[in-house]
Amino acid sequence: MKKGDYRENANFRTLIEADGKDRIQDRLNITGVFLETEEHITLEEMLHLLREKGYDFEPRFVKQCMNRMVDLGFAQKKQFEGQPIRYEHHHLGKHHDHLICTKCGKIVEFADETMEALQVEIAARSGFHMLQHRMEIYGLCSSCLSKRSPLMPLSMGKAGERVLIREIAGGRKKQARLTDVGLRPGDLIEIINNAGRGRIILGRGHTRLAIGRGIAEKIMVSVSDQDADT
């Protein structure tokens, strides 16, 4: 453990002793392992890490301990869209926001003074005194972006992405079905929702369309930089 971690762990001990909890040492071991990681960690990953360090605690106990760390201000609980609950350190007096890759799940932290000040200002314009906020930017990380081919099936598109319909694979029958749902090559569409299964919800102009996954796999699109509103 780093020096700061020892201090945090001693602070945690004082508070849980005051709680009158049993298994103090077990709880401190869990906190110790958590403080050593700098990740945004799920309960599963935490259990795995504990086992690696030779601890074998019941998941319920670990979860309870993590949540107590959240209550006492040592950990923060985060749930990014499409991801399980994660825990990260709660460094007093420090704040950061997150970039989340919707393909591989990578999480990148950032802190930007201009952005922070702007949020306070925006709140104040509406007469709000800002207490806290959450800024999450969803997108594709550089590695996922570079692995992507310029032409991909619509079924691989991510929510929020604007794509251009390029061609329809699979013969005239498929082409006809596409016309039925109201799509043509050259159409600029926005992906509103793509859960990875079931239908995909698209926006074209002011209309929302729901199309089946099967047909979405046959529609080849390219990523567009154009604004779908125009």
Smallest distance, Zn ion to C-beta of residue 156, A? 13
- 97 scored as a contact of Zn ion (CB under 5 A): yes
Which span (61-69, 131-139, 172-180, 189-197) binds Zn ion, by CB under 5 A?
A: 131-139
C-beta of residue 95 within 8 angstroms of C-beta of residue 116: yes
What distance in Å separates the CA atoms of residue 51 and residue 59, rounded to the nearest whole number? Answer: 11
Q: In the Cβ-directed half-sphere of 144, how many Cα atoms lie within 13 Å?
A: 15
- Residue 161 binds to Zn ion (criterion: CB under 5 A): no
Determine contact, residues 182/127, Cβ cutoff 8 Å. Answer: no
Closer Cβ to Zn ion, 15 or 135, answer by number: 135
Closest CB to Zn ion among residues 103, 174? 103
CB of 165 to Zn ion, least distance (A): 25
Taken in order 137, 143, 147, 149, the sign of the CA dihedral is positive
* Residue 154 binds Zn ion (CB under 5 A): no
Examine residue 109 and tell whether it contacts Zn ion (CB under 5 A): yes
Residue 4 and residue 32 in contact, taking contact as beta carbons nearer than 8 Å: no
Q: How many residues bind Zn ion (CB under 5 A)?
A: 10
Dist. CA 20–CA 123, nearest whole Å: 41
Site residues (CB under 5 A) for Zn ion?
88, 97, 101, 103-104, 106, 109, 135, 141, 144
